[in-house]
Structure 1
């Protein structure tokens, strides 16, 4: 089987202890994490691996540089686990800054140099402090580009083509607000993306020049594995990594086209080297029925990979996850904390937290791992199509996630809240309330697309006077009426001091 490894960009802050098992099992993982830690110390940053190996807490928001390096550590450790277990990639693809992780995984540059370049990239973007924003729009790239062109500003552009019905527009914050209003008037679903460093727009030209002028030049070679660049539209060859990273800051990311070209050339399995299904969601939406696997989203990543490998005598046969209703839901992403430099550095104005996704895939928060999806059990009438929701690099507010299997609060209040939720969701979706089971997955079983879930959470937030509910991305990731009702009851109890 021809497998492609995909590297997410700025996604959720990894869970504490997420790499403990990999660290214990594989010498290659231990060595790689040690090298990332060494590079971090040389840049006067804390050890990256400690929290990922030993602790079971959330990120302490030590700045965007630490956040990026934690994501890098998870991606490269997963890559080494796959290689150690016998999986060999046909190609490696990265989303936005994930392309840098792909270069390191393929051996085009060293792990230490990739870490240094990631930090240099973050620093030049923070110095520019551009007042921009990104927004995901649930339409194809042609329509999204037309929408940006209607407003006509050189810095407002189609930034990412992620999937057939998910595009990302990047531009000045005031103009993104216009985009949101026009999209709403046209009936196009949209989701503003709170990112620390909006990119993929000509507005980043100064940051790109700064990076080329200040980033350490690093040695690079041909690498062991093929790396496909979604912004170059070709394989990476004898390309300077600094120029690659700098060029991507102003370029459009064409993930949709890269995915389809790889599939047309024979790729039939996509393996995500991250904690959550981010890029593989774009893959599933772009190539219906394609096989995807996200090892770290399994209860036992190593045994899952071994079992899948056992189904094929060649390189492993990857069992597809049960198909989602033709779209992708937001994955938990986290706000990347602001750096604390010695001298004052201007930073981006804080945007209102939104439920999310990435960059390119992005959102620092604590989130329970997703449970394995189960085949739809609801009637066929429930199978609604899903519009893609999450964009490339993205970050959202931290939220606490209740255990997936937690018991609903007892008492009349829970039943009252659940009844109201059934009415709100039933009226919006056109379902009889009694067909909405409290444990039905809103996406996996009811087919409620991500952006509709955002709208519905807003209605629930307004109904119960709980503004923080809008930023609870966990209710999108593993959303059920039971979990939403539990969250509402707990939040109301906390608000009244009960």
Structure 2
């Protein structure tokens, strides 16, 4: 590792991991060949959870070193832990300890298996869907924007909700989350988790931290252990938080960590805003630059210090770790910086005009490639030229799993095919997606699923 902030952050995380779990995160994250998303998901939960936490904190410390001074921090789900660390409420080591003890408390509770799923519906329509199912075990876990709401509950109930959603022409996918977070079923974990972290040294945050779960800013006299434990059973209102912050004068948002999933959520929530600036540290921007470069040059005025070396040294492996968070619940640290007016265009709607199947039932491969390329470019506001056969959809372009499912659903829907089972992690380039769809369209059997 050639970047000091990353080295220092993961040394602190490793110390906690060695103490509690008997192993180092860095050994998995940085030694050996880069990991795929499937490789990551096969790791034990503590590795991926602490790697995500470390990536968030390291990204923030890089931004801080280059002069970025945010007005407040916002965390999404587990991301509230690195948000509090960034604000100075906890040390890096104690933040890692909170993540570790959270996981241990959940594992030791021996709860019934639960799942989470993301639906391409707003919160109101999702609640109507849950009312239709009349299953009290299903709850809304997070509202991210008008086209993404996360539900949580027993696996059979979540799968039933997905089936009904697809019948209603809504996209959705199971998330690779180890637990059904933000659900009342986790109530037995709340008190033990709070007790485990209640003795950690905490300080009053030096910078304000706004919680999308509490829907308020943390106060100096808050019992942080109790509040962090309550997060397990309370929903996340990210959509409402972003709107409230914007209405309060925040116009610039910087995502520290992640591949741009939360940044795109902000853009979708504030699609009608004309003075919005959004930067995501690990997102590839339309001009080909890494988001962190735009963040430090465009917002703080400081020149980037060897970011190309930084990315070459460990970027691929950090991205692999962050992919787990995107698959799990987008729980990464989102830190809005001081307001700075800038124009931002709303996402371009994807055309729904049907295409006619090619003779023989399946479209020509070149035709299918051109269609996917056009759809992705319109939806993400990228030049079509970036969508080559080999480009990695998530690792290089930051297209999250939910968005991939939504786009694939639209493409297959044009040919009247019913959805069924595509492993997104096995088809991480445009070329692979085209090959798979071409074969499935020929057979008339398409199904879409999460990793």
**What TM-score does the superposition give when structure 2 sets the normalisation length?**
0.70
* Distance verdict in 2 for CA 1:310–1:253, change over 3 Å: closer
Q: Which of residues 87, 105, 109 is equivalent to 2:90? A: 109
1:138 is aligned to 2:138: no
1:360 is aligned to 2:293: no
Q: 1:287 matched to which residue of 2?
A: 270
Q: 1:174 matched to which residue of 2?
A: 156
Q: 1:440 matched to which residue of 2?
A: 373
Moved more, 68-77 or 172-181: 172-181
* Distance verdict in 2 for CA 1:335–1:315, change over 3 Å: closer
Q: 1:323 matched to which residue of 2?
A: none
* Distance verdict in 2 for CA 1:434–1:111, change over 3 Å: closer
Secondary structure of the structure 1 residue equivalent to 2:142 = strand
Alignment of 1:53-68 (within 5 A): 53-58=30-35, 59=39, 61-68=42-49
1:88 is aligned to 2:103: no
* Distance verdict in 2 for CA 1:70–1:151, change over 3 Å: same
Say if 2:212 and 2:241, in contact at 8 Å, map to a contact too: yes
Secondary structure of the structure 2 residue equivalent to 1:470 = coil
1:231 is aligned to 2:164: no
1:85-104 deviation per Cα after TM superposition (whole angstroms, max 9, x unaligned): 11111111111111111111
Alignment of 1:213-252 (within 5 A): 213-215=195-197, 217-237=199-219, 238-252=221-235
Q: 2:16 matched to which residue of 1?
A: 39
Say if 2:57 and 2:82, in contact at 8 Å, map to a contact too: yes
* Distance verdict in 2 for CA 1:157–1:485, change over 3 Å: closer
Moved more, 31-40 or 250-259: 31-40
* Distance verdict in 2 for CA 1:221–1:193, change over 3 Å: same
Say if 2:369 and 2:434, in contact at 8 Å, map to a contact too: no
Secondary structure of the structure 1 residue equivalent to 2:370 = coil
Q: 1:206 matched to which residue of 2?
A: 188
* Distance verdict in 2 for CA 1:420–1:437, change over 3 Å: farther
* Distance verdict in 2 for CA 1:458–1:213, change over 3 Å: farther
- How much does 1:302 deviate? 9.7
**What TM-score does the superposition give when structure 1 sets the normalisation length?**
0.64
1:132-175 deviation per Cα after TM superposition (whole angstroms, max 9, x unaligned): 22222222212212322333444321111110122112122222
Q: 2:383 matched to which residue of 1?
A: none
How far apart are the structure 2 equivalents of 1:308 and 1:276?
14
- How much does 1:204 deviate? 1.0
How far apart are the structure 2 equivalents of 1:235 and 1:306?
29
How far apart are the structure 1 equivalents of 2:379 and 2:238?
28
Secondary structure of the structure 1 residue equivalent to 2:377 = coil
1:327-369 deviation per Cα after TM superposition (whole angstroms, max 9, x unaligned): xxxx997669xxxxxxxxxxxxxxxxxxx8331349xxxxxxx
Q: Which of residues 412, 416, 432 is equivalent to 1:483? A: 432
Relative to its length, the structure with more helix (as a share) is 2
- How much does 1:441 deviate? 5.2
Structure 1: runs of 5 or more not aligned: 1-19, 317-330, 337-355, 363-374, 386-416, 425-432, 492-498
* Distance verdict in 2 for CA 1:420–1:245, change over 3 Å: farther
* Distance verdict in 2 for CA 1:176–1:30, change over 3 Å: closer
Q: 1:399 matched to which residue of 2?
A: none
Q: 1:122 matched to which residue of 2?
A: 103
How far apart are the structure 2 equivalents of 1:434 and 1:177?
34
- How much does 1:474 deviate? 6.5
Secondary structure of the structure 2 residue equivalent to 1:92 = strand
Say if 1:147 and 1:179, in contact at 8 Å, map to a contact too: yes
How far apart are the structure 2 equivalents of 1:210 and 1:489?
51
Structure 2: runs of 5 or more not aligned: 304-319, 333-344, 353-357, 381-401, 441-451
How far apart are the structure 1 equivalents of 2:322 and 2:67?
30
- How much does 1:309 deviate? 4.3
Say if 1:333 and 1:358, in contact at 8 Å, map to a contact too: no
* Distance verdict in 2 for CA 1:113–1:285, change over 3 Å: same
* Distance verdict in 2 for CA 1:165–1:455, change over 3 Å: closer
Superposed CA RMSD in Å reads 4.1
Secondary structure of the structure 2 residue equivalent to 1:437 = helix
* Distance verdict in 2 for CA 1:312–1:232, change over 3 Å: closer
1:78 is aligned to 2:59: yes
